[in-house]
Amino acid sequence: MKKKHYLMAALCLMTVAACTQKTELPENPEDKEEYRDSQGNQWIYNAMLMRWVLMPSVANGLSTTHYYYPKTGSWTDANGSRVASPSNVKVRPSSTSSKSSGHVFGTKSRSFSVGS
């Protein structure tokens, strides 16, 4: 019986630790909000186009600006062409529970985080 209690306590601690990561892109950023991730990449949010602008730098090895659309998880380059995510920039989804609205229960939203 005690073994189950320890297992449940460990699961609860892992859940709390996962929720307190500091590498997440802000979920509700304001226009022109700047963010610097743990890898040293500089991100600027464009509220009108609902995308993050990843500025080229030595840290990420990019020679041109890339745009990241968190709603779709897609990337484009400076020309607007859809491209694969830069190999040395890690963006991984982390699921978080959203508040229920109306009669919908158990819905989940996705937020995106930048990992090292």
Report how far Cα 66 is from the mean position of its chain's Cα atoms.
15
Q: How many residues does the chain have?
A: 116
97: pLDDT confidence band, cut at 50, 70 and 90? Answer: very low
pTM: 0.59
| High-pLDDT (> 70) share of the chain, % | 66
In this prediction, residue 51 carries a pLDDT of: 95
With H, G, I as helix, E, B as strand and everything else as coil, classify residue 18.
helix
11 vs 110, more confident = 11
In this prediction, residue 18 carries a pLDDT of: 52
* Contact criterion met (CB below 8 Å) for 25 and 112: yes
Eight-class DSSP state of 116: -
* Mean local confidence (pLDDT), 40-47: 93
Among the listed residues 96, 38, 18, 29, the one whose alpha carbon sits nearest the alpha carbon of residue 68: 29
* Mean local confidence (pLDDT), 35-56: 92
Greatest mean pLDDT among 6-10, 104-108, 111-115: 6-10
CA dihedral (94, 100, 101, 106) positive or negative: positive
* Mean local confidence (pLDDT), 54-74: 91
Lowest mean pLDDT across 43-47, 88-92, 107-111: 107-111
